[in-house]
């Protein structure tokens, strides 16, 4: 019966909100988590829960609103199996609503849809104030292994409707409101294969470099050779190229921080590198790959790559270079050679020389080339 009433309520709201859509500057906000000792569910079996409050800051008097809220992994809206409903409650401490207003909530997919409406099309009493509370559970194990410093909450599909059926549509947005109740202690894996020796890394916390692992920032390039600067330690939310002569596999631990409160995408750029703290797909920039010439950053050329959390890709200015290589010294197998032609690598005439785009080169100038199975730097 409750489900039938909910569907009827949501349908009624859609009828009320029909009409032209007008953008405006009214805003919704999401509070930090707070603890409620008195809330209970499942016939009083559970008592006490975290919750957050969604509020409105508006200029007009409305009669209804609805929106979608996407919560991050590890935070779930509590479902009361006894009452067959989610624990989302009107918060009328600011006396925003009339007694005829009701709240409907559905979670058909990853987002939670919330609607506030009046069956008799009554106006709100105020333009601003607290709208509703959302009660949640927190899975600490998810956050203990998360690269994201703080959870990101997304609000979308926002609309506010007057009793005259004028619909206003504030802009969608994302925020990082939660600090209370969210674990910040993280232990995260770092892996560099012994074959490649090279990888990328970004962490949500400061960390000392373990034995056998070196880190470099990248702020420029000399043609197709990256200019690398050694780092003495790992800084939170900063992307690095990492190098391990014998490979590295281990865990680094720390307390997650956020150096940029305005960043709500988990993407952090520094110099030529862009690091991601949430898994994503990339089809621009340069992706670290091991092709026939060993590990280098190759132009994505519009191909979509899936990058796991904690990895980085290269985002240099437009250059036309097909691939960027490194110069850590002899450890990477890149040999230095002053002048041309390159030394004989076997056979009377020496092996054919190619640039990093695979073109045959007769008289190589300064740069990186492929000769046989070797990468060679000409300075």
Domain positions in the chain are 2-175, 185-329, 333-378
Which CATH number applies to 2-175?
Answer: 2.60.40.680
pLDDT of residue 246: 93
CB count within 10 Å of CB 358 equals: 12
Which tokens go with 50? 């975290």
pLDDT of residue 358: 59
pLDDT of residue 34: 97
pLDDT of residue 367: 63
pLDDT of residue 355: 65
pLDDT tens, residue order, the chain (379 aa)? 444 444 434 444 444 344 567 888 899 999 999 999 999 999 878 889 999 999 999 999 999 999 999 999 999 999 999 999 999 999 999 999 999 999 999 998 889 999 999 999 999 999 999 999 999 999 999 999 999 999 999 999 999 999 999 999 999 999 999 999 999 999 999 999 999 899 999 999 999 999 999 999 999 988 888 989 999 999 999 999 999 999 999 999 999 988 777 889 999 999 999 999 999 999 999 999 988 778 899 999 999 999 999 999 999 998 889 999 886 543 344 444 433 444 444 333 456 777 655 567 777 766 666 665 566 666 5
- Residue where the block lists tokens 């109740």: 181
Residues with Cβ within 8 Å of residue 225, at least 6 apart in sequence? 324, 325, 326, 327, 367, 368, 377
- Residue where the block lists tokens 């090279």: 198
Residues with Cβ within 8 Å of residue 46, at least 6 apart in sequence? 40, 78
pLDDT of residue 343: 47
pLDDT of residue 18: 47
pTM: predicted TM-score of the whole model, two decimal places: 0.79
In whole angstroms, what is the distance from residue 277 CA to residue 265 CA? 9
């Amino acid at each position: 019966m409750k489900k039938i009433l909910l569907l009827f309520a949501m349908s009624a709201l859609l009828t009320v909100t029909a009409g032209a859509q007008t953008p405006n500057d009214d805003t919704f906000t999401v509070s930090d988590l707070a603890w409620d000792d008195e809330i209970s569910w499942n016939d009083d079996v559970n008592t006490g829960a975290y919750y957050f409050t969604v509020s409105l800051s508006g200029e007009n008097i409305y009669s209804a609103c609805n929106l979608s809220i996407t919560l991050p992994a590890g935070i779930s809206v509590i479902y009361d199996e006894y009452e067959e409903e989610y624990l989302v409650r009107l918060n009328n401490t600011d006396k925003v609503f009339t007694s005829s207003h009701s709240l409907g909530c559905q979670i058909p997919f990853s987002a939670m849809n919330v609607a506030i409406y009046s069956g008799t099309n009554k106006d709100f009493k105020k333009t601003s104030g607290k709208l509703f509370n959302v009660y949640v559970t927190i899975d600490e194990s998810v956050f203990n292994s998360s690269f994201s410093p703080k959870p990101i909450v997304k609000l979308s599909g926002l609309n506010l409707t007057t009793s005259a059926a004028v619909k206003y549509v504030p802009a969608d947005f994302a925020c990082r409101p939660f600090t209370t109740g969210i674990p910040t202690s993280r232990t995260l894996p770092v892996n560099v294969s012994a074959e490649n020796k090279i990888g990328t890394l970004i962490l949500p916390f400061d960390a000392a470099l373990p034995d056998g692992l070196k880190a470099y920032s990248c702020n420029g390039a000399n043609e197709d050779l990256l200019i690398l600067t050694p780092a003495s330690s790992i800084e939170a939310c900063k992307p690095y190229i990492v190098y391990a002569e014998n490979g590295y596999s281990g865990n680094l631990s720390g307390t997650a921080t956020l150096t940029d409160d305005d960043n709500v995408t988990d993407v952090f750029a520094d110099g030529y590198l862009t690091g991601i703290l949430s898994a994503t797909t990339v089809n621009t920039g340069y992706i670290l790959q091991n092709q026939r010439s060993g590990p280098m950053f190759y132009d994505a050329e519009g191909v979509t790559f899936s990058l796991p959390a904690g990895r980085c890709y290269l985002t240099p200015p437009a250059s036309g270079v097909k691939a960027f290589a490194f110069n850590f010294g002899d450890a990477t197998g890149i040999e230095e050679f002053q002048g041309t032609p390159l030394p004989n690598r076997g056979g009377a005439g020496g092996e054919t020389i190619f640039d990093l785009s695979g073109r045959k080169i007769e008289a190589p100038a300064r740069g990186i080339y492929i000769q046989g199975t070797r990468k060679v730097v000409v300075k």
